[in-house]
Amino acid sequence: MIIIVLPAYNEAEGIGSLIENIGKSLAQVGHQIVVIDDGSTDETGAIVNARMADWPVALVTHEINRGAGQAIATGIEYACTHYQAEDMVVTMDADNTQSPDLILTMMEAAQSGADVVIASRFVPGGGQSGVPWHRSLLSHGARLVFRLLFPMGVKDYTSFFRMYRIGLLQQAVAMYQPFLETRGFAAILELLLKLRPLKPTIVQVPLFLRYDLKAGDSKMNILKTLIEYAGLLIRVKWMKAHTTSLDT
């Protein structure tokens, strides 16, 4: 079973078509779409509810906006309590910039033994178009800094589009309280760092990010994300100490 977690905040413009595209891409695969409506003030929730008659969709609602990081945490915790350890969770953006067709390629990597599959812009065959320069600079900067501090053989530390084995996530949820502390987009990086002590097998597949197809405005606040990255760096010492205690 593949569980696709979609954190969504005011994604009415594209969420309906994305659900349909996922359903068509995975028509021959057992799957469940879980939308985390993170306090949307538009018709996101109503559109998701309307798709339930035709597609395997569940809706989890935050009454107020908690941030992308907490929406991801809610979706992962939901998957960990509702599905089996051998099932796989996919996290992806809800804005139609990432093709759900790639999930099938990610499945093949998981079936070959990967615990985490990252759709990466920075491996051969990957790339991006239409990404604003400041967001591109942020991604490259985070990649260089965190590759230096936390070498994991990963080239794209900030890609939302990933696949995880639920058994691995269940171990991580049990290890950390709270599971994810970051409210914003840096949580996807925090998640990868918190999986690191478990020594997962990580495989990367090429992603071509079509930011030019994005539905709606960007929800990322660059300054806030930079502050969140800095907060993760401040917690580096704690994470290393925690990793050491796990290894002893």
Domains of the chain with CATH codes: 2-247 (3.90.550.10)
Tens-digit pLDDT profile for residues 166-221: 999 999 999 988 888 888 778 888 898 889 889 999 999 999 876 665 555 555 55
> Does this model's pTM top 0.85?
no
Among residues 174, 172, 178, the alpha carbon closest in space to that of 197 is found at: 172
Name the residue with higher pLDDT: 38 or 129: 38
DSSP type of residue 141: H
DSSP summary character for residue 11: -
Instruction: Report the range out of 4-13, 170-179, 230-239 with the highest average pLDDT.
Output: 4-13
Question: What percent of the chain has pLDDT above 90?
Answer: 55
In sequence order, which residues have a C-beta less than 8 Å from that of residue 134 and are 6 or more positions away?
Answer: 222
- 63-90, pLDDT tens digit by residue? 999 998 999 999 999 999 999 999 999 9
Q: What is the pLDDT of residue 236?
A: 53
Tally helices (H) and strands (E) across the chain. 9, 9
> Which pLDDT value is given to residue 54?
96
**Structure confidence by residue, pLDDT tens digits, 23-52:** 999 999 999 999 999 999 999 999 999 999
Count of Cβ atoms closer than 10 Å to residue 74 Cβ? 21
d(CA 210, CA 23): 20
Per-residue pLDDT band for 244 (boundaries 50, 70, 90) equals very low
Pair of tokens at residue 232: 């993760």
What is the DSSP pairing of strand 2-8 with strand 116-120? unpaired
Residues contacting residue 102 through CB under 8 Å, at least 6 positions apart: 119, 161, 205, 207
- Determine the Cα–Cα distance for residues 132 and 229; give it in Å rounded to an integer: 19
